[in-house]
Amino acid sequence: MRFFRDASDDLWPASKIERIFAENRIVEGRKEVTHYARLEDGSTRKLAAGEYDNLRLIDAPYLPAGAGHYVLHLDFDGSGNDPVYKAPVVAWVSHPDDGLLPVTGDGVNDGCGNESLPIMYPDGTVKKYGDQVFTTIDEFIENEHKP
């Protein structure tokens, strides 16, 4: 059973959702969109940040990922440790707006919402933000570590 998180951090069964709707308003000159779920019992729950996108992916097709795909996170903390954390990609999900997104043990896009994350492929190349490609992880790290 799949669940969604409301703005109060409570979990609710996604199967109980009748419909999802949005409330738009202008705050300090910016458009803000708040999403709500109307449940089958007639109650309404404000969705937690990022849950709208997660709910849009419930029925999306998931494709198994081949071995050797990783989402990369950089950590230049000066400790001398490896500055790269590699989260293994276990699947890909087809997002209606963003194309294929990686799925890791922490969820779609490694639990990082809509952030574009660099991906390392089995041949060692790293693709960042759709158009930057690095032939090695060392080349990627060097590029990212430039002041």
Instruction: State pLDDT tens for residues 55-109.
Output: 877 777 889 999 999 999 887 665 656 678 899 999 998 877 777 889 998 888 8
Instruction: Indicate the CATH number of 3-56 among 1.10.3470, 2.40.50, 1.10.1740, 2.60.120.
Output: 2.40.50
- Determine the pLDDT at residue 133: 94
Q: What percent of the chain has pLDDT over 70?
A: 92
pTM value is 0.66
- Determine the pLDDT at residue 38: 95
Look at 88 and 114; give whichever has higher pLDDT: 88
DSSP 65: P
DSSP 75: -
Question: What pLDDT digit, counting tens, does each position of 127-139 carry?
Answer: 987 678 999 999 9
In sequence order, the β-bridge partners of residue 12 are: 4
- Determine the pLDDT at residue 110: 83
- Residue 146 reports pLDDT greater than 70: no
- Determine the pLDDT at residue 23: 92
Parts of the chain belonging to CATH 2.40.50: 3-56
Q: Is 6 helix (H, G, I), strand (E, B) or coil?
A: strand
Count CA atoms within 13 Å of residue 57 on its CB side: 25
Judge contact between 35 and 20, C-beta under 8 A. Answer: yes
Tokens describing residue 54? 């997660």
Q: Is 79 helix (H, G, I), strand (E, B) or coil?
A: coil
Residues 6+ apart with CB under 8 A from 58: 2, 14
